[in-house]
A and B are shown apart, each in its own frame.
Chain A
Amino acid sequence: MINSSKAITWQTRKFITGQVKAIAITFLIFLMTTSFHKADPVTDAKLIISFRAYVHGVPLELNKEYKNPFGETFEISRFRFYASHIAPVYSDTNVKFNGRSVYHLIDFSDSVSTRLALPVTPGLCNGIRFLLGVDSLDQIRGAQRGALDPARGMYWTWNSGYQSFKIEGYSSASSQPAHIMAYHIGGYRHPFSTIWKIRINTTDDIAFRLTKENKIMVEVPIELDYFFDGQTPLHIREISSCMTAGELAWKISENFIGSFNGITLSKNP
């Protein structure tokens, strides 16, 4: 009798330890999955964003002549920039959505690229934010595809790195061959980094609610008057090109971010 009861106890124990082990393993797996896979935020709302370029309030057309605030004539043939981590600015500070680290090459010679529809977390918002340029960690990841494919013409080959933006064209004020005007602006190293976190509020701080149903188009105007007449006055006669990283590139990038000003809203057509 004693023997059999002992046997039962042993078996029960074995069973219990088995159970405990199973529970422990399940718990561990649970811990691992929760700690390694942070729950993705709900992103069933859509932010439709449209970048539009202007010169003196008039929509920019490529290869058309304009005058900058200094009276210098110019035309733009190429205008591109990188944007990533695009997200609304939420009035509710509890919403934690920082945008996705997906890179978009906004290219004004390809109108499709200037308008993006991005999944975002619903909420009440009063602006948008994004990263201009390519984050320093993504600059050194090796050969990449998509917007970061070096064949897209935004990669500096002799001083590894993606340009943040490129404004290229002609100006009679330029003394370069064929009157070329070329601002290829990049550099991700301290202290002349041309990568900026941009945050733009709505004009008059108007709030807007993004929900699954409510599709709102956010228009981001880029007024090139401020690109020339910015923190550092950019006279084409004096500075008709910049194609290396450094202090000048950094200053020009500062002018460029100054040309993003007050977003406007419209119902998505």
Chain B
Amino acid sequence: MKSLRLISAVGLCCVIWTNTPYPFKVPSGFPPPVYRFQNNPRTKQGFELGRKLFYDGKLSKDGNFPCSSCHQQFAAFATYEHRLSHGFNNQFSFRNAPGLFNLAWEKEMHWDGGISHIEMQPLAPLLDSHEMAEDLEDVISRLKKDKSYTALFNQAFGSPGINSQRLLRALAQFTASLVSADAKYDRMKRGEVHFDEYEQKGYAIFQKKCGHCHQEPLFTDFSYRNTGMELDTTLLDYGRMRITGRKEDSLKFRVPSLRNVFLTFPYGHDGRFTTISEVLEHYNSGIIPSATLDSSLARGIPISENDRFYLISFLSTLTDSSFIKNPLYSDPQAMGRIAQPVEDSH
């Protein structure tokens, strides 16, 4: 019994010595997350490895397209000012890159919910010929050739070896850690600040007209809905139906979170709306009826000129400036400097 205790104590010390546990904090008022780092306990080393991989062009065919090329921190990890994200060989993807935050609460990912687990998500852009255009085996062999990764994988997982599971788990340690819960809205909820009159009015309108789908505190109910956007005949994107093969799901897309909405323009699954005003006008007057149109939108959502002004005041309180400036999430090569929006870098 004594020896058993000794062995387990020594074992525990070894694990702690190589891996620094890094508990995940659920922000106050948030529901329990879906991804709880099951089978992939969050450690400082695992998180740091995931962060390095996220910013490393080695994961793409020509070295130019790390995850961060389409997911830029200053845009809450969406693609700044791009309708459609673009990748290898000057090709466009067919959707707007969403911001990355609070992913630990997402049961499914992508506009059509095609991804069923956060650890498997990176495979989509990694292998897509329009995005990173890579092959999983090639990425792994490239990482194996890089001495720095040999050590980092060893530290993160407690034994030598680089394989797809470790690559995906490390990335999930980083991406699931991107928590945005410190906007003015959150500080108001915590009683640290007050909304001004406009924000308060906007909040009341929001709760009445938008909050049903964009449910607080994550500002989405994670459902798929047809919001009456006309089919773009060049993209032929039928959304959720592409995944389920069911006619009932035609033209349904996931309700996006509105957190950081000021930073994630353009809007819509194909980025067709440039400004928030355009989106609001769509709900006010632009809804195209179709068989699968969401029942709550049959008559549109009347939004007056005044409503719009107040709503925009409220939506600005969802910008989390400490999230986009958090050096923990920035490029480790940049030594704490945060990238800024520039004219198109590619």
Chain A residues with a Cβ under 8 A of chain B: 139-145, 149-151, 155, 157-161, 187, 189, 192, 244-247
A247 touches B126 (CB 8 A): no
B136 touches A192 (CB 8 A): no
How many residue pairs between the two chains, A and B, have CB atoms under 8 Å in the bound complex? 71
Q: Which residue of B lies closest to A189 (CB)?
A: B244
B156-174 with Cβ < 8 A to chain A: 163-169, 172
Per-residue contact bits, chain B 96-140, to A (CB 8 Å; 1 contact, 0 not): 000000000000001000111111100110111000000011001
Closest 9 CB pairs of A and B: A246-B245, A143-B168, A142-B119, A160-B116, A157-B123, A143-B165, A143-B119, A151-B136, A159-B114
Contacts of B167 in A (CB 8 A): 143
Contacts of A140 in B (CB 8 A): 116-117
Q: How far is the CA of A245 from the CA of B123 in the complex (A)?
A: 18
Judge if B44 is at the interface, Cβ distance under 8 Å: no
B168 touches A157 (CB 8 A): no
Q: A142-B39, A157-B124 are in contact. List 4 more A-B contacts (CB 8 A).
A: A150-B120, A151-B136, A159-B242, A161-B116
Q: Pull 7 A–B residue pairs with CB atoms less than 8 Å apart, ordered by A.
A: A141-B117, A143-B164, A143-B166, A143-B169, A151-B164, A157-B120, A192-B245
Q: How far is the CA of A139 from the CA of B243 in the complex (A)?
A: 15
Judge if B40 is at the interface, Cβ distance under 8 Å: yes
Chain B min CB distance to A132 (Å): 19
Q: Which residue of B lies closest to A139 (CB)?
A: B116
Contacts of B120 in A (CB 8 A): 142-143, 150, 155, 157, 160
Chain A min CB distance to B155 (Å): 19
A151 touches B140 (CB 8 A): yes
Contacts of B118 in A (CB 8 A): 142
Q: How far is the CA of A260 from the CA of B264 in the complex (A)?
A: 52
Most buried by A among B117, B118, B128, B165: B165
B127 touches A142 (CB 8 A): no
* Candidates B172, B243, B244; contact of A142 at CB < 8 Å: B172
Q: How far is the CA of A142 from the CA of B243 in the complex (A)?
A: 18
B136 touches A150 (CB 8 A): yes
Chain A min CB distance to B120 (Å): 5
Contacts of A157 in B (CB 8 A): 120, 123-124, 126-128
Contact A244 B245, CB 8 Å, known A142-B119, A157-B123? yes
A142 touches B245 (CB 8 A): no
Chain A min CB distance to B206 (Å): 33
Q: Which residue of B lies closest to A146 (CB)?
A: B165
Q: Which residue of A lies closest to B171 (CB)?
A: A143
Chain B min CB distance to A140 (Å): 5
B114 touches A160 (CB 8 A): yes
Per-residue contact bits, chain B 60-101, to A (CB 8 Å; 1 contact, 0 not): 000000000000000000000000000000000000000000
B163 touches A145 (CB 8 A): yes
Chain B min CB distance to A189 (Å): 6
B123 touches A155 (CB 8 A): yes
* Candidates B39, B163, B169, B245; contact of A247 at CB < 8 Å: B245
Q: Which residue of A lies closest to B107 (CB)?
A: A140
Per-residue contact bits, chain B 150-192, to A (CB 8 Å; 1 contact, 0 not): 0000000000000111111100100000000000000000000
Chain B min CB distance to A159 (Å): 4
Contacts of B39 in A (CB 8 A): 142
A149 touches B245 (CB 8 A): no
B137 touches A142 (CB 8 A): no
B17-39 with Cβ < 8 A to chain A: 38-39
Contacts of A158 in B (CB 8 A): 110, 114-115, 124, 128
Chain A min CB distance to B85 (Å): 14
Per-residue contact bits, chain B 237-264, to A (CB 8 Å; 1 contact, 0 not): 0000011110000000000000000000
Q: How far is the CA of A139 from the CA of B163 in the complex (A)?
A: 19
Contact A245 B164, CB 8 Å, known A158-B114, A160-B114? no
Q: How far is the CA of A189 from the CA of B114 in the complex (A)?
A: 12
Chain B min CB distance to A15 (Å): 22
Contacts of B140 in A (CB 8 A): 151
Contacts of A187 in B (CB 8 A): 245
A142 touches B128 (CB 8 A): no
Contacts of A160 in B (CB 8 A): 114-117, 120
Q: How far is the CA of A161 from the CA of B119 in the complex (A)?
A: 13
Chain A min CB distance to B173 (Å): 11
Chain A min CB distance to B270 (Å): 16
Q: Which residue of A lies closest to B165 (CB)?
A: A143
* Candidates B40, B123, B128, B245; contact of A150 at CB < 8 Å: B123
Q: How far is the CA of A139 from the CA of B115 in the complex (A)?
A: 11
Q: How far is the CA of A256 from the CA of B39 in the complex (A)?
A: 35
B246-293 with Cβ < 8 A to chain A: none
